[in-house]
Structure 1
Amino acid sequence: MDSLTNQYRQIIKKILEEYADFLGNDEQVKVELVLDEKNDRYLLVETGWKNGYRIYGTLLHLDLIDDKLCIQHDGTEEGIANDLVAAGIPKSHIILGFKAPEIRKYTEFAVF
C-alpha cells in the first residue's frame, strides 16, 4: 500500500509540474505548485494582478486519502482524471470529489 501511495505521489507531482510549466508565469500572474506530502494535499494555484484585477484561484486540488486519489477541484478543460489514468492510476482509485456523492456512482470512477 505504501509503495502504491508513493507511486501515486510521484505521478501527481509530475502531472502538476507539467501543468505548471505549460501555464507558465508572466510578470503579473504566478502559477504556484503547493505540495504538502505530509498531509498528501497537492494544489496548483494562480496569484497576482492583471489589468487592475486581483487574480487568485485554485486551478487543481488533489488529495490522497487512504489508497484513493480524490480530485477536490479540477479547473482544467480536458480533466486531470484523464491524465491520471493515462499515467497508470486506475479509475477505481480516482474519486471525482468535485461531483456530488449521489452522482459519482454514475461515473466510471471510484465513489469513496
Structure 2
Amino acid sequence: MDTLESYRQIIEKILSEYAAVPYAYGEIQTEVVFDRKNDRYLLVNVGWDGDRRVHGCIIHIDIINNKLWIQRDGTEHGIAKDLTEAGIPENHIVLGFREPELRQYTGYAVA
C-alpha cells in the first residue's frame, strides 16, 4: 500500500472513532466527511441543544503534497498526537491552524 492510501485510511479510522462517541447532551450528531478526490477530511457536529442550533467543524485535515495539514483541531489532546501514534511521522504533519512564523517551534512540519 502506498503512503497516500495509508494516510487516508489512518485519517478515516481516527475520525470514525471520534464520530462513534455519542454526544452527552442535546440532539447532536457527529458526522464524518471523507472527500478522497480532494483529500479533505472533516468531523462536524450538527443538531440542536435545546433551542440552540449546533453546527461546527471539530476536525479538518487536508492532504497537500503528501503532508497532512491540520486546518482545525477542536479536540482536547490534539489530533496530531493521534496521527503520530498511528504511525504518521511528525515531519509529515503541518499544524495549519498555527501561524506560519510559529510552526517551526511545534515539533511538526513547517509546510
| Same structural fold, with TM-score higher than 0.5 when normalized by the shorter chain | yes
Contact 1:25 1:31 in 2 (8 A): no
Q: What SS does structure 1 have at the residue aligned with 2:80?
A: helix
1:58 aligns with 2:67: no
**Which residue does the alignment assign to 1:8?**
7
Which 4+ runs in 1 deviate beyond 6 A?
Answer: none
Pick the structure with more helix per residue: 1
- Give the Cα–Cα distance (whole angstroms) in 1 for the partners of residues 90 and 49 of structure 2: 38
Q: Deviations over 1:34-62 (max 9, x none)?
A: 00000000000011111100101000000
1:97 aligns with 2:102: no
**Which residue does the alignment assign to 1:41?**
40
RMSD, matched Cα: 1.6
- Give the Cα–Cα distance (whole angstroms) in 2 for the partners of residues 81 and 65 of structure 1: 16
Contact 2:26 2:50 in 1 (8 A): no
CA spacing shift, 1:103–1:23, aligned 2, 3 Å: farther
Contact 2:27 2:49 in 1 (8 A): yes
TM-score normalized by structure 2?
0.94
**Which residue does the alignment assign to 2:86?**
87
Unaligned runs of 5+ in 1: none
Q: Percent identity between the aligned chains?
A: 52
TM-score normalized by structure 1?
0.94
How far residue 67 of structure 1 moved from its aligned partner, in angstroms, is 1.1
Unaligned runs of 5+ in 2: none
